[in-house]
A and B are shown apart, each in its own frame.
Chain A
Amino acid sequence: MRHILSILVENEAGALSRISGLFSARGYNIESLTVAPTEDVTMSRMTIVTVGSEDVVEQITKQLNKLVDVVKVVDLTEGNHIERELMLVKVRAAGKDREEMKRLADIFRGRILDVTDKSYTIELTGTGSKLDAFLQAIEPGVILETVRTGASGIGRGERILRV
């Protein structure tokens, strides 16, 4: 099962390596990891997407909580949540492909950020599977470069993660 863990950590040097080190030392999976400071500059918020059985994810949560720099851990997938990932993709856009690419970007609610006479750079936001779908929808040959942020997540409604 895929789980999205939201983690509040002290904004200390080394906090990231404590967390990533925990995953590698204990053989847990990391599908993606994003981290940035929050509105409270003493804290960062991390989103880790991991895959594992219920037992394994329970252990991951407990082990994360044990780290002294970790303030709070929530498994977003335990309730309603919103998940978004940002992707920038540079595609070949010349000749007859150019119009088609623009149309496809519109369908996926993408925005074209940069244009040359041969390429578009498109910004797309959505769940990971939406971004996958976009990449599948275009011919692999026209993709020049992609960069993805990994998922960020937040609980729906009154589900709030803060100290």
Chain B
Amino acid sequence: MQLTGAEIVIRCLQEEGVEYVFGYPGGAVLNLYDELFKQDKVKHVLVRHEQGAVHAADGYSRSSTKVGVCLVTSGPGVTNAVTGIATAYMDSIPMVVLTGQVPTHAIGQDAFQECDTVGITRPCVKHNFLVKDVADLATTIKKAFYLAATGRPGPVLVDIPKDVTQARTEWSYPKSVSLRSYNPVTKGHSGQIKKAVQLLLDAKRPMVYAGGGVVLNNAAPQLTRLVRLLGFPCTNTLMGLGGFPGTDPQFTGMLGMHGTYESNMAMQHCDVLIAIGARFDDRVIGNPEHFFRSDRKIIHIDIDPSSISKRVKVDVPIVGYVADVLDEMLKLIESSPQRPDAAALKAWWGEIKEWQRKDCLRYDTKSDLIKPQYVIQKLYELTKGDAFITSDVGQHQMWAAQYYKFDKPRRWINSGGLGTMGFGLPAAMGVQLVNPGATVVTVTGEASIQMCIQELSTCKQYHLPIKVVNLNNRYMGMVRQWQEFFYGNRYAESYMNALPDFVKLAEAYGHVGIKVEKPADVDGALAEAFTHKDRLVFVDVITDQTENVFPMVPGGKGLTEMILAEEL
């Protein structure tokens, strides 16, 4: 059967079981949109800005196990999408980005809405393709889905010139593809796994440090079993939250720049550290020279060999899918007569409990001003810890990570690597679409929300009952915090004059707006927001302007050089 390129693209999406495509039409993709129009299997979500399309596809993927798909036009459609693509790339999110391109004969002629898409996106995709021949189209799309979802996941872009969408070829979709140059090692080396297990069983002061790889590889059950079986303390990175239950007594809280005192101290003082799907990021371990200890053994499990020994030299590297490697480790531990040294472990937990007594996340609960931490705590209680929380970037993101306890993976949706302000609301759209009926909350700030606020219109069109909790401190809070600590209180451009009336703004978009100014009104306002089951509610919470995120490891310092609230 002969089909046009445009028909082929839509057929491919159907074959891949794609439910939603997030996108925005334009000249170069008109043939594709025409084919989308003629069918109803693949639903299209029309965003208000291409960045929103990519974030929505991203949130869709993070909160399910599916590949996110977006479709944008050439030129500005692509450049607008780049922030979203880079966001997904930094957090290893499986995604297929379809982009329109000017016709092949016009490429390189500075045509209208032409840009070098493959060149512009090359450093922020796992791989990209320019399809010049319609005969290659179906196989290329198959490859894109395969590359996006396997190995270390990531966004894959397929650039399709307009004439390729018009040209005809025989339709066939390969069941599977393989690339001779792409063979990720997925099964861990058995000798290394044995070595790692022995180190764990012999450890006196062990620490489990688990990251986003656990979530991405759906390895939360394995991680939870391993940690409980061994009785070890466990910390999660910002990306790993929910990979181990946040309410478990063995959970020591998030680690890193704004991690808990106990997690950071345990990272530094343990004798065996097992890193699982985490990459010793600068926001996690601070300065690697301060982090180094000659008397600590490190085991590192990761799907990406280049993540191992990149910033920190490790003793036992294991390349493979986290879930598979943990399965193997569990088998070995369960069949071994040896158990961890109970007395040593008890002493170690004693030390950790001592660190926990610092109560590093406490804050002033008697203030006349609304404390942002309280809002998150209340949100946690009201949603019984069972919501999907998306966030933007800054102080509110850290408070959400610190005070909302995630018991399940894929519930905490944030831009960890790239740190993209404007991520939260569009990401929540994808989350809500793939989890209809679920409670979806965007925790944001008045600066971040304005970076993609146009998506409130999309939320109206698709009846997405997201709850937006805007921690409004009239500052770019994290910038302000750094200026207070490190720039002598010179608040250069971190204050926003002339903020909009967010209640009216929400109403203008057809949503419900609520403003809260007193601590006593927080509970009621949040509760009211959740009574509007089928409406988007924007809760504008006027918080304490001077509140800071603690603990804090200043940039370039070691993990134990934390600033705690009481020290200021």
Contacts and interface: CB of A to CB of B under 8 A. Distances in A.
Contacts of B126: 68
The interface size bin for chain A is 20 to 34
A62 B305 contact: yes
B366 to A, nearest CB: 50
Given A10-B181, A68-B181, A55 B309 contact: yes
Contacts of B310: 59
A136 interface: no
Contacts of A69: 127, 181
B181 A14 contact: no
B181 A18 contact: no
A46 to B, nearest CB: 13
Nearest to B124: A25
B147 A59 contact: no
A32 interface: no
Contact of A66 (B179, B306, B309): B306
B304 interface: yes
Interface string B13-41: 00000000000000000000000000000
Contacts of A68: 126-127, 147, 179, 181-182
A1 interface: no
Nearest to B304: A66
Interface string B134-155: 0000000000000100000000
A65 interface: yes
B77 to A, nearest CB: 20
**Chain A residues touching B, majority SS:** helix
Interface stretch (B115-123, B394-402, B414-422): B115-123
Contact of B180 (A55, A59, A71): A71
A18 B147 CA distance: 16
Contacts of B122: 14, 17-18, 21
B130 interface: yes
B181 A70 contact: yes
A13 B130 contact: yes
Contacts of B123: 21, 25
Contact of A58 (B127, B130, B181, B309): B309
Interface in A1-57: 9-10, 13-14, 17-18, 21, 25, 55
Contacts of A80: none
A102 B507 CA distance: 88
Contacts of A14: 118-119, 122, 130
Nearest to A18: B122
A13 B182 CA distance: 17
A82 B318 CA distance: 34
Nearest to B179: A68
A63 B180 contact: no
A62 B185 CA distance: 12
Nearest to A66: B306
A163 B127 CA distance: 21
Contacts of A17: 119, 122
A70 B182 CA distance: 8
Contact of A63 (B127, B306, B313): B306
A65 B310 CA distance: 15
Interface string A108-149: 000000000000000000000000000000000000000000
A70 B304 CA distance: 15
A17 B116 CA distance: 13
Nearest to B152: A66
B311 to A, nearest CB: 10
Interface string B274-307: 0000000000000000000000000000001110
Interface in A64-90: 65-66, 68-71
B401 to A, nearest CB: 29
Nearest to B151: A66
A25 B182 CA distance: 22
Interface in B353-371: none
A10 B306 CA distance: 21
Nearest to A10: B181
A68 B157 CA distance: 13
Nearest to B182: A68
Contacts of A13: 130
13 contacts: A14-B119, A14-B130, A21-B122, A55-B309, A58-B309, A59-B310, A65-B306, A68-B126, A68-B181, A68-B182, A69-B127, A71-B181, A163-B180
Interface of B: 118-119, 122-123, 126-127, 130, 147, 179-182, 304-306, 309-310, 313
Given A14-B118, A21-B123, A65-B306, 17 more contacts: A9-B181, A13-B130, A14-B119, A17-B119, A17-B122, A18-B122, A21-B122, A25-B123, A55-B313, A59-B310, A62-B305, A66-B304, A66-B305, A68-B179, A69-B127, A71-B181, A163-B180
A-B CB proximity, top 6 nearest:
A62-B306, A68-B127, A71-B181, A62-B305, A68-B182, A63-B306
